Amino acid sequence: MNSNEMIEILSDNTNNDWLFSEADKIRHENVGDEVHLRGLIEFSNICKRQCKYCGLRSANKEVERYRILKDELLTYAQKAVKMGYRTLVLQSGEDDFYDTDKMVEIIREIKKLDVALTLSIGEKTYDEYKAFKNAGVDRYLLRIETTDKKLYGNMHPNASYENRKQCLYDLKRLGYETGTGCLVGLPNQTIESLADDILFFKELDADMVGIGPFIPHEQTPLADAKKGDFWLALKVMALIRINLPDINIPATTAMETLNPNGRIIALKSGANVVMPNVTSKEYRAKYEIYPNKICINENPEQCRGCIEGKIKAIGRTISGEKGFRQRKNNS
Ligand code: SAH
């Protein structure tokens, strides 16, 4: 699709049913009915950045900060593998405590567990990404957040849009399965820029794209901003499935925060991945990138059981594979 076609679809709600069922069909034809579960470990909520929407921004003095150190982190990883996870995702704020050596040690230990490993720890140098890759990391998640340069500048004080983009190209060049994505509903974000975001995912040849509605957090400069629209986020996600048929697309936690059935609706509108939290209760509430995060009182076993039940109830199955992108001939 070109930009105009996408803008037309995003601006008009009369064809939503068609859009969601078309995305569901393309998902079925290209990536099948299996859902890949990725076990998410949120290992540090310490962050040096100031992203205006994020509750973990360093200026927020009201969060109780934590770091999970290597040994404890490994116990979560082992537990997750025992529960059946074949991919683990390590996510954190940009916390320089975990330097390259510390990360490489953690990566090497986790890779002994025979799992695919994803990092989501922000902007690093080419050499750092290279060291992680050499240590065995398979995938990296780094959302571009928005391709509207001006909006990007407004949302990310002291950060560079060009650098974020460069990071994504570096990750691709190093052979990572590269995940990116955007927020939907940021203040002053336009429909036109959402179409540009999708074109960017295509240009990058993203292997995974996660879309989340923006949810205002009280302890940020965007406390009084309007929250993102669940259905618009879902439409962006469905368009991504139609335009990048064989990639992995998560049903995101932020979608479920805005709609109690959000992840299942997303799985029926193009998504094929879910990322349940495998960190223990004591940390979940503290990793508050946005408020009212789901499952903060659950433990990892409950999360796994709950989402498995929901997935099976819609006639889909849980994959036992690591779930790499399987390219189709046309992509
Ligand atoms: N430090 C890492 C991980 C960031 S947290 C990085 O820079 O990549 C993961 C994602 O949460 C972010 O990329 C952002 O898109 C999302 N997020 C942050 N604050 C949010 C909010 N208020 N509402 C919805 N999503 C948010």
Structure confidence by residue, pLDDT tens digits, 13-63: 999 999 999 999 999 999 999 999 999 999 999 999 999 999 999 999 999
Residue 89: which of 119, 47, 110 has the closest Cα? 119
* Ligand 1 neighbour 120 (Cβ under 6 A): yes
Measure 320 CA to ligand 1 centroid, in angstroms. Answer: 28
Question: Which amino acid residue places its CA nearest to atom 7 of ligand 1?
Answer: 122
CB 294 within 8 A of CB 254: no
| pLDDT-derived band at 331, boundaries 50, 70, 90 | low
Residue 235 CB–ligand 1 contact under 6 Å: no
Note the pLDDT tens digit of each residue in 247-276. Answer: 999 999 999 999 999 999 999 999 999 999
pLDDT at 109: 98
CB distance 254 to ligand 1 below 6 Å? yes
pLDDT digits (tens, 9 = 90+) for 199-255: 999 999 999 999 999 999 999 999 999 999 999 999 999 999 999 999 999 999 999
Distance of CA 83 to the CA centre of its chain: 21
For every residue of 22-90, DSSP letters joined together read HHHHHHHHHH-SEEEEEEEEEEE-------TT-TT-TT-TTSPP-B--HHHHHHHHHHHHHHT-SEEEE
Give the distance (Å) from ligand 1 centre to CA of residue 102. Answer: 23
On whether the pTM is more than 0.95, the answer is yes
Under the banding of pLDDT at 50, 70 and 90, the label for residue 2 is very high
Distances 91 to 68, 167, 209, 288, 326 between C-alpha atoms, Å: 11, 16, 16, 13, 24
CA distance 312 to 324: 21
145 lines ligand 1 (CB under 6 A): yes
CATH 3.30.70.270, applies to 3-318: no
CA–centroid distance, residue 315 to ligand 1 (Å)? 31
The answer to whether the CB of 290 is under 6 A from ligand 1 is yes
Determine which residue's CA is closest to atom 1 belonging to ligand 1: 93
Ordered by start, the domain boundaries in the chain are: 3-318
Q: How confident is the model at residue 330 (pLDDT cuts 50, 70, 90)?
A: low
Q: Is 122 in the pocket of ligand 1 (CB under 6 A)?
A: yes
